[in-house]
């Protein structure tokens, strides 16, 4: 094979070498990016997540219950309304039941809780098989967390109380259909409303939230979803968001 330096002008040889070097660098960078974890490549500003499939299963929320919620809100938050105008947090719960129907029945009954009406409820319940039930519209306040009902959406996950420090949390995290559905749901809510990841919290963390407010001096005593387990769950939410 003849020498390039003898058959081509020197400038042409130099240009060819630069082109080859550029192509090799581009290929190397492309290969490097392809093996980076999803978390290393940021999603575009304002990234959204598709709404997960949900089953609409509304509890009764008539004019009487709306009045009760408005009065409760006035006593505890200082604003007389039943509407959730600006969701700023998501609170994770588990149901302390083995199936979904008792949860629906308890929320639908509207029985007073801690001596006050309305009864408890949450906007969503995620069953063990990954089915997501929506029990109220997103603009409706539910009593699920003392001090945060005026700013938070509640997500219940069907799970028995196992009696250990975080056994129930861990059972949910190990049940893939359920935890994947819940992470997808929370990722959608987070991106829809611009909720910071630090405001995706467990019920056990509510008293320490910067959003906490209760004019009657009430506090939460629940132990569901401790900080370490919430951090694990947040990682799963972040993965859903990065994947889009």
- Least confident among 37-46, 208-217, 226-235: 37-46
CA distance 87 to 150: 8
CA distance 89 to 189: 9
Q: What element of type H or E holds 200? A: strand 200-202
Check pLDDT > 60 for residue 12.
no
CA distance 244 to 232: 19
Check pLDDT > 70 for residue 175.
yes
Decide which of 21 and 106 is more confident.
106
Residue 56 burial by CB count (10 A; 0-12/13-18/19+): exposed, middle or buried? exposed
- Give percent above pLDDT 70 in the chain: 81
**Residues with Cβ within 8 Å of residue 204, at least 6 apart in sequence:** 220, 222, 223, 224, 225, 226, 227
Check pLDDT > 70 for residue 43.
no
**pLDDT band at residue 122, thresholds of 50, 70 and 90?**
very high
Specify the pLDDT at position 45.
Answer: 54
**pLDDT band at residue 6, thresholds of 50, 70 and 90?**
very low
DSSP string for 76-143: HHS----B--S--EEEEEE-SSSSSHHHHHHHHHT--BTTBSS-B--SEEE-TTSPEEE-S-TTB--B
Distances in Å between the alpha carbon of 174 and those of 96, 130, 169, 179, 184? 17, 13, 9, 8, 16
Task: Spell out the long-range contacts of 69-75 with Cβ–Cβ below 8 A and sequence spacing 24 or more.
Answer: 69/118, 69/141, 69/143, 71/117, 72/116, 72/117, 72/118, 72/143, 72/149, 73/141, 73/149, 73/150, 75/116, 75/215, 75/216
**pLDDT band at residue 70, thresholds of 50, 70 and 90?**
very high
- Least confident among 163-167, 190-194, 230-234: 163-167
Average pLDDT over residues 118-144: 99
Average pLDDT over residues 47-57: 95
Average pLDDT over residues 63-91: 99
Alpha carbon of residue 90 to chain centroid: 6
Average pLDDT over residues 11-21: 43
Q: 96 and 102 in contact (C-beta within 8 Å)?
A: no
Question: What are the φ and ψ backbone dihedral angles of 69, each rounded to 5 degrees?
Answer: -70, -40
Instruction: Give first-to-last CA distance, the chain, whole Å.
Output: 52
**pLDDT band at residue 23, thresholds of 50, 70 and 90?**
very low
Average pLDDT over residues 24-39: 36
Q: 219 and 76 in contact (C-beta within 8 Å)?
A: no
Check pLDDT > 90 for residue 141.
yes
Average pLDDT, the chain: 87
Give the sheet arrangement for strand 124-126, strand by strand. 55-56, 132-134, 124-126, 152-157, 89-94, 200-202
- Least confident among 15-24, 64-73, 89-98: 15-24
Check pLDDT > 90 for residue 17.
no
Specify the pLDDT at position 158.
Answer: 99
**Residues with Cβ within 8 Å of residue 185, at least 6 apart in sequence:** 52, 54, 124, 126, 132, 155
């Amino acid at each position: 094979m003849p020498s390039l330096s003898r058959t081509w002008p020197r400038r042409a040889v130099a240009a060819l070498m630069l082109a080859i070097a550029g192509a090799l660098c581009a290929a190397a960078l492309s290969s490097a990016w392809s093996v980076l974890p999803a978390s290393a490549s940021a999603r575009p500003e304002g990234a959204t997540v598709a709404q997960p499939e949900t089953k609409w299963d509304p509890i009764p929320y008539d004019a009487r219950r709306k009045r009760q919620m408005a009065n409760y809100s006035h006593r505890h938050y200082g604003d007389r309304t039943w509407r959730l105008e600006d969701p700023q947090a998501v609170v994770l719960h588990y149901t302390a039941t083995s199936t979904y129907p008792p949860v629906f029945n308890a929320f639908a009954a509207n029985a007073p809780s801690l001596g006050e009406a309305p009864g408890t409820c949450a906007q969503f319940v995620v069953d063990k098989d990954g089915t997501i039930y929506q029990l109220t519209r997103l603009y409706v306040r539910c009593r699920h967390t003392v001090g945060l009902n005026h700013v938070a959406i509640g997500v219940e996950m069907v799970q028995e109380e196992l009696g250990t420090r975080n056994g129930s949390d861990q059972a949910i995290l190990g049940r893939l259909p359920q935890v994947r559905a819940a992470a997808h749901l929370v990722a959608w809510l987070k991106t829809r409303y611009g909720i910071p990841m630090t405001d995706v919290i467990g019920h056990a963390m509510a008293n320490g939230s910067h959003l906490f407010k209760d004019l009657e001096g009430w506090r939460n005593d629940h132990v569901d979803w401790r900080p370490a387990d919430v951090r694990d769950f947040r990682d799963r939410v972040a993965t859903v968001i990065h994947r889009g």
